[in-house]
Each structure stands twice: as structure tokens, then as C-alpha cells.
Structure 1
Amino acid sequence: MPVVPPAPARTLVRAQLANSVGDGVFLVTSALYFTGPVGLSPGQVGLGLTLGWAVGVLVGVPAGQLADRWGARRTAVLLAAGTGASVAAFLAVGRPTTFVLVACLYAACQTGLAAARQAALAHLVEPARRTEVRARLQAVANGGLALGAALGGLALAAQTAAAYRLVLGLDVVAFGVAAALLARLPQAGPTAGPVVAGPRLAVLRDRPYALLTALNAVMMLYLPLLSLVLPLWVARRTAAPAWLAAAVLALNTVAVLLWQVRVARGVTDPDGAVRALRRAGLLMVGACAVLATSSAATGPWLAAAVLLVGAAAQVAAEMAHGAGAWQLSFDLAPDGRHGQYQGFFGTGVPLARMLGPVLLTTLVVDGGPAGWLAFGALYAAAAWAMGPTTRWAQRSRAATAEPACAAGRAVPVP
């Protein structure tokens, strides 16, 4: 396969930066904007966002299928613009029903955009560099989130409706910039590679890949740990100062910025991916064990030190998990179907956003140290199971490819 010039990768990174700045603004300010100037109750906001991410789970595969058929570039541009439009619509909501509808549009566009962007990456970047480029996107995403959060913090400091609307307007602009950057990509889709024969939504019949996706969704449950669970744990269960939760989030952001690409460079094939995922499982068990002991630490500084050690192990697990999961998601998807396969694999993110907060606050904040250990065991079990499931997927593809190659025809997806 010819080496694609690095320009598409740079364009994807720049678009991701703009996208992430907008996300950072939204994450920091949206809850207080909706419960303040808009006048919704916390329960209404929670219900609306939960329903929205439920729609996001359903949209991933159809959006990926659209990227395969219509072109990843055009699909990504459309969905980036749609995300910006949905944020603009949030500025006009005033009733719970309208909020729910806009939240569903927002989550659908966000989930679909992620699938289309992954499909564009798969089409435009040679296989040997896909995981490295995906790691760059993740590193830039963390930096963009931090910058967006800082901008959102200005609105939090002002605490006025005008300030909230101003920074959310910046979110709209950020997604407009992302759409303009994505429009500069080369064509990525049907004309960039063959369309594999077989059922239209073949990924839904691919049992090994479906199991990989489910296991990855379990591992993705860590997403609300730093933003929700750890702040509550620090405040309710430890002697550490409350601001330490912000320090842990900053540590995570800086670590991913500095080391995610380096971690990903060591993962270049399915075997390396499985090793990285098993390493992630062990690291998460260690992180959860350390975090569990923080409640017993006497004195604020000792508790803070224990929490920082646990957070360091957690971010190491996060980076190893990312590298391994990305490699498998690309390697085990057939050419011509990267959109729908990436869309399906990416459903772990909206699932974690929808289910993770309730599950982990109940398990960890209410359950105490035993809850941390239970989550670590669950994560490690999913990580270990990735190995046998990957081998099953490889056997399935080999068994399907042999008769197809002998017959000289396209390979259908199992």
C-alpha cells in the first residue's frame, strides 16, 4: 500500500484540537448553564443527557455506514457542522422537552462524528501508522479539553447568563472550524478502497468483533472516574483537600499529552495490542488497590500522596488500554467497512457516559474500598478476555478468507 503523505494526519489533528476545545467549554459550563439561566432541574438535565447518549449508542453504526457509502470526509463535515448547530440550539432551549430533543441531536452528531473521523483515519493513513496517529488525536484532545475548560472557567467565575452564552458561542465556532478543517481532507470513502461484499450492516453479525466491542465498553467505564467519582471520593472518603481532584485531572491531562504517542508506538499488531491491554488490566488493579487505601490514610498530605500514586497508575492503564484497543479496532475491521466497524466499536464511549456515572458512584463512592477492588477486578477480567477474543476473531477471518481467496472473489464478513 502506498504511503499517504502526512498532510491528512495533520489536518485530522488540527480538526480534533478545534473539536476538543469546544468539548472542554461544554463539559465545564453546560450543567450550570442548564440549571441556572435556563432553569432546568438537575434531574431534568441528567435525564436529557442520558437519553441523548442512549441515542448516540444507536447512531454509531449507521453513521459509520454512511461514511463508508457516502464518504468519510463529507460525513465528518456534515456531523461537525451538526454538532455546532446543536450547541447553538441549546442556547435557545427553555423547556425540558426541547432540551431532550436537542440533547439527542447533540449526542447523535458527536457519536457519528467520532465514527466518521475514525473511518477517515483508516482510509487516509497507512495501517502501520494508524494507532500512532490515533494516539496523537487523543493527546491533542486532552490538550484541547484543558484549553476549553479554562475558557469555560471564565464563565464560571463571572456566573452570568451572558458569560455562559458567550463561551457556548465559542463552542459553536470551534465546531465550525473543525468542519472547515475536515473539508480540506482528501476524499475518504467509497472511492478510496473496495467495498466488501456481504450484508449491509455486517458488523452486527460479526460475533468476535461484537464481543471485543462489549469488552472494550466495560473497560471504558473508567471515563467518569476523574470527572465525577474521584472528586466525590476525595471529598467524602479521604482526608485530602478537595482541590486535589483538580490536581489529579491536571496530572492525567499532562501525562496523556506527553506519553500517549510514545505508548502507542510500541503497539503495531494484534499481539502487541493484547499485551498492552493485559498490562492495562494489571495497572488498573494496582491503581484501584492504591486508591482504595487512600481512605485509611491519616492526614491530608499522606492521603494526597496516596491518591497521586493511584492516579499515576490509572493514567498509565488508560494509555495502554487506548493503544491496544485502537490497534485491534483497525486491524480486525475489513477494508471498505471501517466506518461501520469504527462506529460500532466506538459505542463504548456513549455507553460509558450513560451508565458509568451511576454504576461507579454506587460501586465506589457508596461501596468504599471494596468497590474500588471490584471495579479493578472487572476491568482486569475484560482486559484478559481481549486475548482469547482476538484469537477467535483472527481464526474467523482466516477461515472466511481461505475459501474466498480460492474462489477469487471478495471476502464477505462473517
Structure 2
Amino acid sequence: MPERWIPAAGPARGLAVAQLVNSLGDGAYYVCSALYFSQVVGLSAAQIGLGLTVAWGVGAVAGVPLGNLADRRGPRGTAVALALATAVSVAAFLTVRSFLPFVLAACAYATAQCGLAAARQSLLAGLVLLLRMPLISVAVPLWIAEHTTAPGWTVSALLVLNTGAVMLFQVRTAAAVRDLPSAVRTVRSGGALMLVSCAVFAGSALDAPLWALLTVLLVAAGLQVWGEMRQSAGAWQIGFDLAPAGRQGQYQGFFGAGVPVARMLGPLLLTTLIVTWGPPGWLVLGALFLGAGAALGPAVRRAERGRPTAPVAASVRPSRQP
């Protein structure tokens, strides 16, 4: 494997391996969880959306103090403890058979994940390369199951596509992001790609031969992973460049709060837009991606004017959030 894809031996390589293992677990969870909660546990789409909304709301609130804890107690030990808490909370889903235990387990999982992200990003401020497998949203498996005639293994195929794309192209995508202006441009173009991806996903609801349907889904997933890689590359550069020195954990906990907020609102929003509205909902979602990408530029300019210290140089190249 080319040397540029592998961190040098030492802490950077260990962190990259740990991140890869964590990303594989996250990816498997996000691909299977929606179908597990609906088909095995027996929860409705509305219950899943509401429960995840509550859970990621709790996680968003917990992310900042847990990031501050990583600054005070050290990111390595904090990350290990939160990784173990994540594993326990995921195992707890095996015992869930009703709505309230599902909400409690989801809250534990979201809290551990938000804190782990802040602690891990605090470690990355002084290292690495980071390889992360992309998040396949809860909307994709539910969309495939309820709005298309594609076989169930299609979800796994899209996961493989996403994983391979990130492994091969995330570093190359991030290499073009060197400063805040390039980060803003990259995020903006990622939003445009996400809009096109959503439009293609909407087309998969049409009655078509199986080969054509699978082609449409693969094209949509390819555009999605490309857009997400560009968005995450820019977002990570912004997060590290604007962070005050010595306060990476606390700042990343706050900056990363956008991820749990999206997860908090996302399940409820996506089950309404995608599952209920169908193809028009995909177009609305794509417009939201485009608007969010365009709005980041003014937000970064305001943050630059208001920051009290010089930016921290970003010595790593990113991947997407879980």
C-alpha cells in the first residue's frame, strides 16, 4: 500500500487503526440499526425518529463538558473510557423490546459517541491522518425497504461502496483543503453534490428493471459519498483552524455539536421527508444540503473576525463524522 496512505509507525498509526476499527463498527451499526429497530424490536418509524431525536439532543448537550474533560484528564484515557461506554450501550440494544428502553439505550449511545468524538478530535489535533468510514443515514435503508423494489442486500452493497470510496479517496479529497478559503469552497461544492445525489435517489422510486434500479442507487450512493467527503474535509479544516491552542477538546466538543444536533433533528426530519413524502422529500433534503454549504462561508468569516487568538495549524487531513 502506498506510504502516503499509511501513517508513520507510532501514535499516529495506532490512532488510525483504532479509528478504522471504530468506523467499521459505526458503519455496521448505522446500516443495520434502523431495520433492526423496526423489524426486530417492532418500533414504528415515528418512534425511531422521536427516540433518536431525544438521544442526540442529550448527546449534543453532553459533548462540550466531555470534551472539556478530555482537556483536563487527557484525551487518550477519556477516549478509551468512552469507547467502552459506546460498546456497552450498543450491546444494550440487544435487550430492547419497547420504546422507553430504546430511548434510554439510545441516549447512552449518543452521549458516549459525542464525548468520544470530542476526545478523539483532541488527540487528532496533534497527530494523523484520520480514516473514517462514512455514515449511511437512517433514511437510505428505510427508503430502499419501503420505496423501492431493490433486494435487501442492496444496503450492504452501498455500505461496501462507501467504505471503499473513503479508504481510497478521502485523503486525496482532503489534500486540496489547505486553509479556510479552500475549506469553504470544498464544503460548498459538497453541498451541490449532495443535492444531485438526493435527486438521483428520488429517481430510484420509479418503476424500472432491477439492473436499472441498482445502477441508479449506485450512482446516487457514489455522489453521496463524494459530497460527504468534500463536506467533511472542509469542516474538519475549519474546526482545527479556528480552535484556540490548548483547548482542542473543549472547542471540538462545541464545534462537533453540529453532528449530534443533525442526528437529533435528522431522524425525525428524514422519516418525515423521505419515508412519508417520498421523492419530493429527497429534493427538499438536497436543497437543505445546498443551503447549508452556501451558508458556511459567512459563518466562517464571522468566526474569523471574532476569534481572540491565532488559528491552530491543522496537521492532519480529515474524514467524515459518524
Shared topology, TM-score over 0.5? yes
Name the CA shift for 1:85/1:302 in 2 (closer, same or farther; >3 Å).
Answer: closer
- How far the C-alpha of 1:59 sits from its partner, in A, is 0.8
2:275 counterpart (361, 365, 371):
365
Name the CA shift for 1:102/1:325 in 2 (closer, same or farther; >3 Å).
Answer: same
| Greater Cα shift, 235-244 or 63-72 | 235-244
Q: Deviations over 1:363-389 (max 9, x none)?
A: 123223322221111111110111121
CA distance in 1, matches of 2:30, 2:293: 28
Name the CA shift for 1:54/1:371 in 2 (closer, same or farther; >3 Å).
Answer: same
Superposed counterparts of 1:115-126, under 5 Å: 115-122=118-125, 124-125=126-127
2:162 counterpart (252, 255, 279):
252
Contiguous gaps of at least 5 residues in structure 1: 143-222, 403-414
Name the CA shift for 1:235/1:117 in 2 (closer, same or farther; >3 Å).
Answer: closer
CA distance in 1, matches of 2:235, 2:14: 23
Amino acid at match of 2:219: V
Structure 1 equivalent of residue 259 of structure 2: 349
Contiguous gaps of at least 5 residues in structure 2: 1-6, 311-322
Q: Report if the CA contact (8 A) 1:256-1:319 is conserved.
A: yes
Residue 254 of structure 2 corresponds to residue 330 of structure 1: no
| Greater Cα shift, 50-59 or 262-271 | 50-59
2:17 counterpart (7, 14, 21):
14
CA distance in 1, matches of 2:9, 2:52: 37
Number of aligned residue pairs: 302
- How far the C-alpha of 1:316 sits from its partner, in A, is 0.8
Structure 2 equivalent of residue 53 of structure 1: 56
Name the CA shift for 1:344/1:66 in 2 (closer, same or farther; >3 Å).
Answer: same
More helix by share: 1
Amino acid at match of 1:283: L
Name the CA shift for 1:68/1:34 in 2 (closer, same or farther; >3 Å).
Answer: same
Amino acid at match of 1:394: E
Name the CA shift for 1:270/1:238 in 2 (closer, same or farther; >3 Å).
Answer: same
Q: Report if the CA contact (8 A) 1:267-1:327 is conserved.
A: yes
Q: Report if the CA contact (8 A) 1:241-1:304 is conserved.
A: no
Name the CA shift for 1:248/1:92 in 2 (closer, same or farther; >3 Å).
Answer: closer
CA distance in 2, matches of 1:22, 1:75: 19
Residue 71 of structure 2 corresponds to residue 71 of structure 1: no
Structure 2 equivalent of residue 277 of structure 1: 187
Structure 2 length-normalised TM: 0.80
Q: Report if the CA contact (8 A) 2:30-2:138 is conserved.
A: no
Structure 1 equivalent of residue 231 of structure 2: 321
Residue 288 of structure 2 corresponds to residue 395 of structure 1: no
Q: Deviations over 1:248-289 (max 9, x none)?
A: 232122111211111111112111111111110121122222
CA distance in 2, matches of 1:72, 1:114: 10
For the residue of structure 1 that corresponds to 2:224, the secondary structure is helix
Name the CA shift for 1:84/1:366 in 2 (closer, same or farther; >3 Å).
Answer: closer
| Greater Cα shift, 78-87 or 42-51 | 42-51
Q: Report if the CA contact (8 A) 1:239-1:299 is conserved.
A: no
Higher-Rg member (1/2): 1
Structure 2 equivalent of residue 264 of structure 1: 174
Amino acid at match of 1:66: L
For the residue of structure 2 that corresponds to 1:295, the secondary structure is coil
CA distance in 2, matches of 1:289, 1:326: 26
CA root-mean-square deviation: 3.2
1:81 counterpart (81, 84, 87):
84
Name the CA shift for 1:356/1:394 in 2 (closer, same or farther; >3 Å).
Answer: same
For the residue of structure 1 that corresponds to 2:138, the secondary structure is helix
Q: Report if the CA contact (8 A) 1:62-1:340 is conserved.
A: yes
CA distance in 2, matches of 1:287, 1:381: 15
Q: Report if the CA contact (8 A) 1:288-1:310 is conserved.
A: yes
CA distance in 1, matches of 2:189, 2:69: 35
CA distance in 2, matches of 1:89, 1:361: 24
Amino acid at match of 2:72: R
Amino acid at match of 2:62: V
- How far the C-alpha of 1:56 sits from its partner, in A, is 1.0
- How far the C-alpha of 1:5 sits from its partner, in A, is 7.2
Q: Report if the CA contact (8 A) 1:332-1:394 is conserved.
A: yes
Q: Report if the CA contact (8 A) 2:200-2:216 is conserved.
A: yes
2:215 counterpart (295, 301, 305):
305
CA distance in 2, matches of 1:296, 1:93: 36
Q: Report if the CA contact (8 A) 2:43-2:99 is conserved.
A: no
Structure 2 equivalent of residue 188 of structure 1: none
Name the CA shift for 1:36/1:390 in 2 (closer, same or farther; >3 Å).
Answer: closer
Superposed counterparts of 1:219-230, under 5 Å: 226-230=136-140
Structure 1 length-normalised TM: 0.63
Structure 2 equivalent of residue 410 of structure 1: none
Amino acid at match of 2:259: V
1:105 counterpart (99, 103, 108):
108
Structure 2 equivalent of residue 295 of structure 1: 205
- How far the C-alpha of 1:90 sits from its partner, in A, is 5.8
Q: Deviations over 1:177-206 (max 9, x none)?
A: xxxxxxxxxxxxxxxxxxxxxxxxxxxxxx
State the identity as a percent. 54
